Amino acid sequence: MKIEENTYQAIYQNSVITLSGKLSLMVSEYEKLESFFAQILESKPTHLILDIRNLEFLNSSGIKTVCVSLILEASEIEGLHLKIICSDQYTWQKETIPNFQDLMDYMTIEFI
Amino acid sequence: MNTNMSILGNYIEPENSDCEGTLTFKFKAGYIEKSKLWKNKDLSSEFIGNFWTNVLGIDSIKPKLHFICAELLENAVYHSIKSDYIIMIQLCFKADELLIYVQNKTDTQQIDDFRLFIQTILDAKDLQKLFVQAIKNAKNSEIKKSQVGLITIIKDRGASLAWKLNNEGELTSVTTLARISLKKEKMHL
């Protein structure tokens, strides 16, 4: 499963969701990504990896979309473990992603 | 002080702030197509980040400025999109601080809710708790905007925020000020 737009790319393959590029869309433009996450979660996976190492920018509507449509929804699936893989090279990831920890107990955040 | 005007937070006027240099963009929201306006918001924010990184020689300021300018402009575009009013972003450089002003006009009927939210952010002792609450509220509500951007600017980007609201009848002029301390940035050099 894949979304390919001018500024960003979202791929789902072998339990890994990879987001890359720049996500600075308008609120309404995030509906496509919301549906993408919903489709993944519909299959009730037992583990998921969100790889954002190549995500250069995420605006607040993007933060909301990832937190609400992926993390909070995933937290309601029994037994699902979510791992977020981040990059040390992006300051915003170091500052913002650890905030997500309080949204889901069964989640780990790893910086590479 | 003008009785129609109210100040929230530690606000200072640009003319009283002893700026060493300024950079200003102004554009008429109603004149530009929404998608182009959105793209321009990104271009302006990146340009401001690059411009001041070059002037100051502090690399860490670039992503910070980019995010803050983009978030404030997004808010201005959202609230001004139906109007033919000027959106302005002005960046003032002081020896120890960067001041970012974003001005737009919005519907006065929405101001009370906005003022309440601003006060909640300014009074918050635990912004992480407020962030989590804002995300949970966003899940349980039909409202698309979560206000996570303003929380992130203060909590993660280390800026302080202040507002000047000027009631002009049906419309209210909103000036948002983000203040970034350069002392902290220089300490990390």
> Mutate which of B67, B71, B126 to test chain A, going by most A C-beta atoms within 10 A?
B67
A61/B146 Cβ within 8 A: yes
Q: Residue B63: how many CB atoms within 10 A of its CB?
A: 19
Would you say residue B147 lies in a domain? no
A95/B135 Cβ within 8 A: no
Would you say residue B9 lies in a domain? yes
Judge whether B107 is closer than 8 Å to chain A, CB to CB: no
Q: Are residues B58 and B159 in contact, defined by beta-carbon separation less than 8 angstroms?
A: no
- What does the pLDDT read at residue B106? 86
- What does the pLDDT read at residue A49? 98
B42/A27 Cβ within 8 A: no
Percent over 90 (pLDDT), chain B: 45
What Cα–Cα distance (Å) separates residue B114 from each residue in B19, B31, B150?
29, 26, 12
Token pair 């804002």: residue: B134
Would you say residue B113 lies in a domain? no
CA distance B156 to chain A (A): 5
Q: For the residues of B56-95, what is the DSSP string, one character each?
A: HT-TTHHHHHHHHHHHHHHHHHHHHTTS--EEEEEEEE-S
Q: CA B69, CA B91: separation in Å to the nearest integer? A: 9
Report chain A residues whose CB lies below 8 A from the CB of B64: 91
Q: CA B51, CA B61: separation in Å to the nearest integer? A: 10
- What does the pLDDT read at residue B186? 67
Q: From first to last of its 112 residues, what are the pLDDT tens digits of chain A?
A: 999 999 999 999 999 999 999 999 988 899 999 999 999 999 999 999 999 999 999 999 999 999 999 999 999 999 999 999 999 999 999 999 999 999 999 999 999 9
Kindly report the CA angle at A46 between A29 and B139, in degrees rounded to 5? 35
Token pair recorded at residue B17: 């702030």
Q: Over the stretch B115-132, which tens digit does the pLDDT of each residue have?
A: 999 999 999 999 999 999
Report chain A residues whose CB lies below 8 A from the CB of B67: 57, 59, 92
Q: How many domains does chain B have?
A: 1
Would you say residue B121 lies in a domain? no
Judge whether B64 is closer than 8 Å to chain A, CB to CB: yes
Q: Are residues B61 and B53 in contact, defined by beta-carbon separation less than 8 angstroms?
A: yes
- What does the pLDDT read at residue A86? 98
- Looking up residue A81, the CATH number of its domain turns out to be 3.30.750.24
Would you say residue B69 lies in a domain? yes
Would you say residue B28 lies in a domain? yes
Q: CA B163, CA A53: separation in Å to the nearest integer? A: 35
- Looking up residue B34, the CATH number of its domain turns out to be 3.30.565.10
> Mutate which of B46, B58, B152, B188 to test chain A, going by most A C-beta atoms within 10 A?
B152
Q: Are residues A64 and B146 in contact, defined by beta-carbon separation less than 8 angstroms?
A: yes
- What does the pLDDT read at residue B126? 96
Token pair recorded at residue B120: 């909640």
Q: Over the stretch B144-179, which tens digit does the pLDDT of each residue have?
A: 666 899 999 999 999 999 999 999 998 899 999 999
Would you say residue B13 lies in a domain? yes
CA distance A86 to chain B (A): 16
Q: Are residues B113 and B84 in contact, defined by beta-carbon separation less than 8 angstroms?
A: no
Measured between CB atoms, which of B42, B135, B155 is closest to A64? B135
CA distance B173 to chain A (A): 23
Residues spanned by the domain of A107:
2-111
Q: Over the stretch B41-97, which tens digit does the pLDDT of each residue have?
A: 888 888 888 888 888 888 888 899 999 999 998 888 877 655 567 889 999 988 889
CA distance A31 to chain B (A): 11
Cα–Cα nearest to B60, from B141, B68, A38:
B68
* Chain B CA closest to residue A25: B38
Q: CA B31, CA B146: separation in Å to the nearest integer? A: 27
CA B185 to chain centre: 19
Residues spanned by the domain of B94:
5-107+161-187
Q: Over the stretch B15-39, which tens digit does the pLDDT of each residue have?
A: 887 888 888 988 887 777 777 878 8
End-to-end Cα separation, chain B, in angstroms: 41
β-sheet bridge partners, residue B1: none
Establish, for the pair of chains A and B, how many residue pairs have beta carbons separated by less than 8 Å.
64
Token pair recorded at residue A27: 């609120």
Give all strands (DSSP E) within chain B, no chain letters. Answer: 5-8, 21-28, 86-93, 97-107, 160-167, 171-181
CA distance B144 to chain A (A): 7
- What does the pLDDT read at residue B145? 64
